[in-house]
Amino acid sequence: MAVKDVLIYPDPLLKEVCEPIKVFDESAGQLLQDLVDTMVDAGHSVGVAAPQIGDLRRAVVVDVSTSKLGKKQKNHGLICMVNPEILEREGNTVVREGCMSVPEYTGNVSRAERIVVQFINREGQHQVIRSEDFEAIAIQHELDHLDGKLFLDRVSSLKTDLFRRKK
């Protein structure tokens, strides 16, 4: 498997809607492993979606367990998701988000505090999980990528809610 280059906005692939994975085969398993390898190699990432590495299939990985915020809260560890879909959303919070594909900026984004998401897991089995707090936010962020959305698309005011990262 391999660490892949992460596409940077305004790469047009980041705005594409991804196709469902119809057959969970070796290729889908390899995609998940490439996503894990890329996320881990970044050192600071809590998730990555297939379009960020140039693959327009519906797959993401999320793992908040090693982040400062994730360690303080209940989480599921490494979650590998094929064809994920959010079934329920509860609550609302505004959070500061960043993205490997938008390395120069962070922004305030409104997200659900708790979600229920269904997906095909790494073993090819249907799974449903309930997630909350930072993990739920990370999952929502990654799933947006599958629909061609970046956190920039969810910032209510580019003038007041978008911030240049400190070097």
Which domains occur in the chain, in start order? 12-164 (3.90.45.10)
CA–CA distance, 84 with 28 (Å, rounded to integer): 14
Residues 126-139: tens digit of each pLDDT = 999 999 999 999 99
Specify the residue for token string 């959070």.
95
Assign 155 to helix, strand or coil.
Answer: coil
- By annotation, the residues acting in catalysis are 142
Confidence band (pLDDT; 50, 70, 90) for 166?
Answer: confident
Residues 139-150: tens digit of each pLDDT = 999 999 999 999
Asked if 52 contacts 102 with a C-beta cutoff of 8 angstroms, the reply is: no
Q: What percent of the chain has pLDDT over 70?
A: 99
- The tally of CA atoms less than 13 A away on the side-chain side of residue 53 is 25
Strand partners, 93: 111
Residues 118-127: tens digit of each pLDDT = 999 999 999 9
> Is a pLDDT exceeding 70 seen at residue 1?
no
CA–CA distance, 19 with 29 (Å, rounded to integer): 16
Strand partners, 110: 94
Residues 46-92: tens digit of each pLDDT = 999 999 999 999 999 999 998 887 777 889 999 999 999 999 999 99
